[in-house]
Structures are given as structure tokens and as C-alpha cells.
Amino acid sequence: MLSEGLREWESPLYAEALGQFDRVAQLMDLDPNISERLRVPQRSIIVTIPYRRDDGTGVKALFGYRVQHVLTMGPTKGGIRYAPDVNLGEVAALAMLMTWKCAIVGIPFGGAKGGVRVDPTKLSRAEIQRVTRRYTAEIIDFIGPDKDIPAPDMGTDEQVMAWIMDTYSQQVGHTEPAVVTGKPPALGGSVARREATGRGLVSLLPVAANQCGIKVEGARVAVQGFGNVGRYAALAASQAGAKVVAISDVSGGLYNATGIDIEAALTHIDKHRTLEGFAGGDAIDNATLLSLDCEVLMPCATGGVLTADNAGDVKARLIMEGANGPTTGEADKILEAKGVLVVPDVLANAGGVTVSYFEWVQDLQNYLWSESEIVGRLREIMSRAYEEVQAVARIHKTDMRTAALIKGIKRVADAKLARGVYP
Ligand code: NAD
């Protein structure tokens, strides 16, 4: 239960995000005037989205959200999620995480997030298009290249971004690619955005593995989630010489002690949309995947999967969080006591927003960078952020999540202090 004044955003993920923030703010002795402001988002928008069903049963309405957490350092940035359990509190929590993430990698954005409470797998392509266009129209005054720039998240993809960009462009009267990132390359999308989050995550594998005495070559890796993040994390991990022994999605998982053929899994998913029916290993469920005997666990699906109930069963020595908020605060304590190194979401999955930032810069300049330029810069930013977080962890004698948050919150607090209060 959140404190009385914060009922609007009540949700398990918001309570987690706020709990993390309060703990770190206290540790940093953060100015209470600043922490009061950062505990809640600056803007929270709720819209209703009517859309016509294909089957002629009439018009249905959905809830949509866009939350902008901090507007101090430039435009806000964050993905849009389509999922059946999306709510304002979850979106607000994810917006807060985005603020810290951008600050940790030194990108000049505040955090935002959006969502529509809908199961996209139950809608036709035409219905998703109608929902997307109306959602965009409802939030249009609050987004734009210099205001707030959406990107894909769970349940949305390049095509959804293309429809947002088109709707926005039609309304403002000119083509505006910089209003979203994660677009198809034909519309000014970055050639390396699709793989960016998974690639960025795995770019940290050598240094993180080294820190826990694991050799990347042959290291057994389990990846939960085989969407945008999970599939490219699995691919990059196998290309780096690790052995991906387990993968999963919402339909269930697979285990293969000799290593799963990730290319074959990608081909399967392109054809069938889920891993169901893929014959590359033995069937396991998602709960089993989290406690598998392996060196590295990469949760890349949804939030709150590692909890006080199952953290004690984790056998991996290294957890790299591709998903946002996969580990609860209670699970963190258990994992720390077991000596498991957790590379936290706000650092580990920052490759997505980093390449989104490149895409936005490229769109504003009408100049496209090559894949090798993008990947080189991504690696440089990720490894510098990792080193800086490690340095903070050493100084404060703390875990990586706390250190990353100290770094991110400090940067945002400095910006707030420098601007002062208007009027
Ligand atoms: P996606 O929709 O492309 O894929 C999600 C995957 O997780 C799918 O394979 C789905 O089947 C699976 N899944 C969903 N619910 C599950 C469950 N309960 N158990 C097991 N698997 C489940 O989404 P995505 O873009 O890959 O995002 C995944 C996570 O990564 C989210 O937490 C998101 O916020 C985070 N993230 C995404 C990006 C990005 O660039 N897309 C960047 C940073 C963080």
C-alpha cells in the first residue's frame, strides 16, 4: 500500500520503484525538496480509446496511458506497452526507471512510458492499427520530437511505431520521423535498433562474467522471454561463445543441455509467432527456467518474476536483467546473500534507449549512421556506464543496483537543483 497521497499510481511495480528510490535517496542524503518531486511523475495522462471491431460487433473502448516522469533535462523518452494488465501505476513505475536509465548512460532525456490495456494477440492487424492511431491522436499534444518520443516495448513493434509516426505526421502536416524511435529503417529507423537492447545486454557479459569468475566461452545461459529483447540477447550470447541452454516465451520454454540452435528458434518464431511446437529441446515451464542449473540467467520478459518465493532456488551466479523490474526488492536481498551478481535493468537493458537516442539524433539531422558506427558507440557507452557504476559500488560498498541508482538519481537531482523552481 502506498502512502495516502499516492493512490493514483498504486501498483506492485510502482511500490517497488518507489521503494528503491526512497532507499537510495536516504542513503544519498538527498535534499527532501528534490526527493519529494522525484517520487511522483510530472505528468500522467489517461485516455480512452474507442475502436471498431472487425467482426461487426461494434465499438469497444480501451484504456491508454502516457506518463512523463521528469521533464527537466530535455524531451522525455520511453516505450509503449500493449498488454492485458497495463495500468497507470505500472506505466508510472516504468517511466521512473527510464529516468534513472537515461541518466546512468548519460543521455539527455527524462523518463516516460506509455501503454494500452489490451492483449494484442487477440486483435487483428487492422484492429491494432486502429487502436494505435486513436491512441496517438489522444496523446498527440504531449508527444513530439522535442517533447516526448515513444519507442517499442512489450507487445509493440516497428510497425506500431510506423503507424504512430504516420498519424502524428498527418496531424501536424509534415513528415516527422523523429517523433518515435524503433521505426522501420525505411522511415528513418536506426539499422541497429531492433537488436540494440539484447546486444547491449550481452556487450556487458564479458565484464560481468569476469567479475564472478565465469568464462563466457561455454557458459550456460538461460533466457526468459523470446521477444525483441530475449531473442537478440540469446543470439548475441551464443555468438559470443556462451551456450544458451534454455529459452522461453509466454507459451512455455525449452531446455537443451548441449545448447539451443538460436537461429532455428528465430526462424520458427518468425513463422509461428510463439515457441510452441519448436523441437529444439525438452519442454520446461517458465518457473523451472528461472531455477535451472546454469551460470547466467537473463530475465527478458516481464516484471516481478524473481520474488522472495523463488530467489532462493536460483542457481545462476550472474543475473543480467533484460526486462524492466524482473527482481523484487525482497528477491534482491536473497540473491545478494547467496552471492549472485545482479546487473540491474537500469544499466543492463539501457542499450535500447541508447540506440533510440542515436536514431532520434539521426532523424533530426536527416543523416543515417552505419551499423558498425552504431554498434561501436553502443558498446562504448554501455561499458563506460558499467565501469562508472562499478566505481560507485566500490566507493559506497554496495550492490550494482544501488550504485546505478545513486549515479542516475544524482545526475537528475543536479539538473533539478541547477534549474530551480519556477516561478
Ligand atoms: P516483446 O513483446 O517483444 O517480448 C516479450 C516476450 O516475453 C515474448 O516472448 C513473450 O511471449 C514473453 N512473455 C510475456 N509474458 C511472459 C511471462 N509471463 N512469462 C514468460 N514469458 C513471457 O517485449 P520486449 O520488447 O522484448 O520487452 C521485454 C522486456 O524488456 C520488458 O520488460 C520491457 O519493458 C523490457 N525492455 C524492452 C526494451 C526494448 O527495446 N524493447 C528495452 C528495455 C527494456
Q: Does any ligand 1 atom lie closer than 6 A to the CB of residue 87? A: no
| H-helix segments, 282-399 | 286-290, 329-337, 345-348, 351-365, 371-396
Q: Does any ligand 1 atom lie closer than 6 A to the CB of residue 224? A: yes
pLDDT at 81 over 80: yes
Whole-prediction pTM value? 0.96
Gap from CA of 301 to ligand 1 centroid (Å): 4
**AA identity, residue 175:** T
Q: Does any ligand 1 atom lie closer than 6 A to the CB of residue 300? A: yes
Q: Does any ligand 1 atom lie closer than 6 A to the CB of residue 299? A: no
Q: Binning pLDDT at 50, 70 and 90, where does residue 4 land? A: low
Q: Binning pLDDT at 50, 70 and 90, where does residue 5 land? A: low
- For a mutational test of ligand 1's pocket, the pick from 90, 190, 250, 327, i.e. the residue with the most ligand atoms closer than 8 A to its C-beta, is 250
CA-to-CA dists, residue 385 to 34, 296, 359, 378, angstroms: 24, 21, 20, 11
Helix (H) or strand (E) holding 44: strand 43-52
Percent of the residues in the chain that have a pLDDT greater than 90, as a whole number? 98
Mean pLDDT score, 338-348: 98
* Residues acting as catalytic residues: 113
pLDDT at 416 over 50: yes
pLDDT at 2 over 80: no
Gap from CA of 321 to ligand 1 centroid (Å): 11
Gap from CA of 26 to ligand 1 centroid (Å): 32
CB 419 within 8 A of CB 73: no
Mean pLDDT score, 249-263: 97
pLDDT of residue 1: 46
pLDDT at 287 over 80: yes
